[in-house]
Amino acid sequence: MVNPQLGLTEQDMIGKPDYDILSKDDADKLTKIKRHVLETGTSVRLELPLISLKGVQQCFDGSYIPTFNAEGKIDGLIGYFRNVTERKRNEERIAKLTCLYAALSRVNETIIRVRDVESLYYEVCRIVSEECAFPLVWIGEVKGQQVVPAAWYGPASDYVKEIKVETRGKLGKGPTGTSIRENRAVINDDFVTNPATSPWREPARCYGFRA
């Protein structure tokens, strides 16, 4: 049976040192922690991602506890871990939803309060960027065949000044042009693998955008 925690079978793990199970960096990290426990006699609680030699990454919560002999001297340690990957994913999912709902609430309040269109666009971009920690939020307007940025906010705002987006042709096949042309939401999961985003791939890379 393959252990889903690290992508290893039980035979792969029983009686094996960390260096036969984990990546060298992670094995080094745990070795340093265990050495500290053995030298100081203090327990260590930790939560960290670990990568196996199979390349599988999971998040673990655990402890190293020193053991003592009859004379009160340290003679070893006990380590135990539990897989908390799914819990961490759920926490991240809840945190993202909380941010989005908070942004939506503030945007609705702003729509009622602000009457000037330009100010409204700017405030919407600012609220969503700040609440959700997005590096860039922007609003575009269709003028002819072009999609012209009308408002933007975030530390990567210069990105919109370097790109050109249209609703037709090669520059209209990306998420923005497709969304406008087909009147639906469009998600770009990965600039690197999505051929439709190739015209904007290099600027996206420079600003650290992946999706």
Tell whether the model's pLDDT for residue 3 goes beyond 60.
Answer: no
CA separation for the pair 174, 194 (Å, rounded):
9
Q: What does the pLDDT look like over 29-52, one tens digit per residue? A: 999 999 999 999 999 999 888 887
Distance from the first to the final alpha carbon of the chain: 36
Report the pLDDT value the prediction gives residue 6, as an integer from 0 to 100.
61
Tell whether the model's pLDDT for residue 16 goes beyond 90.
Answer: no
Report the pLDDT value the prediction gives residue 51, as an integer from 0 to 100.
80
Residue 148: which residues within 8 A CB-CB, separation 6 or more?
A: 140, 141, 142
Report the pLDDT value the prediction gives residue 10, as an integer from 0 to 100.
62
Residue 137: which residues within 8 A CB-CB, separation 6 or more?
A: 124, 125, 126, 128, 129, 152, 153, 154
DSSP bridge partners of 22: 52
Report the pLDDT value the prediction gives residue 85, as an integer from 0 to 100.
87
Q: What does the pLDDT look like over 122-169, one tens digit per residue? A: 999 999 999 999 999 999 999 999 999 999 999 999 999 999 999 999
Report the pLDDT value the prediction gives residue 201, as an integer from 0 to 100.
95
Pick the CATH number of 2-83 from 3.40.50.720, 3.30.450.20, 3.20.20.80, 3.30.1330.60: 3.30.450.20
Q: What does the pLDDT look like over 40-87, one tens digit per residue? A: 999 999 988 888 767 778 888 989 999 999 999 999 999 888 888 889
Per the prediction, the chain carries an average pLDDT of 90
